[in-house]
Amino acid sequence: MEKKFENITALNTRQEYDEALAYTKSLIVEATQKGFLNSPDANNEYVREIGRIGNMCADYEDTKIQFNHITVCGRSPLVRVVQEEMYKRDIKQKEVAKLIGINDTVFSLFMNGKRRLSMSSARKLYKNLNIDPKLILEYA
């Protein structure tokens, strides 16, 4: 295995990051072909190098790249969870709007990704529907 980035402990430019990603992908292909990734608890030269470069890429992403929020079918994860909870409880949007004390039109705008909820309304989602507070903080 040819090692790259041996003397680097952090990625500082987008070019270094892109090269590190390409290197990691090539290592994964090579290790897979040679059977070094067949075991879930494999601990070999390839696994350690992929992990080392992967950690540097993750650190670069955390400090230098701003990602947009993930959406599923055009909806934020919070909206998806609220929809699932509504389905489980067999309740309609109007009922949820009433539960959290907002106008049903405002709630509809939130559910369609056109408006954010106030923290007060988001807090009521947690209290009344038991929605994960981490989702609320990130996506409300």
Higher pLDDT, 39 or 23: 23
For residue 9, give the DSSP letter: S
Identify the three-state secondary structure at position 116: coil
pTM over 0.85: no
| Residue-level pLDDT at 91 | 92
> Mean pLDDT score of the chain, rounded to an integer?
85
Q: What is the mean pLDDT of residues 18-44?
A: 88
The answer, yes or no, to whether residue 16 has pLDDT greater than 90, is yes
Contact 82, 111 (CB under 8 A): yes
Q: For residue 63, which phi and psi values (nearest 5 degrees)? A: -100, -25
66-119 tens-digit pLDDT: 765 555 556 788 888 999 999 999 999 999 999 998 888 888 888 888 888 888
Reported confidence tier of residue 120, pLDDT bands at 50, 70, 90: confident
| CA-atom Rg of the chain in angstroms | 22
* φ, ψ dihedrals at 123, nearest 5°: -60, -35
Can you give the pLDDT at residue 92?
92
Nearest to 16 by CA among 52, 63, 53: 53
Residue 126 has pLDDT above 80, yes or no: yes
Predicted pLDDT at 119: 83
End-to-end CA distance of the chain: 47
Domains of the chain: 14-64 (no CATH), 77-139 (1.10.260.40)
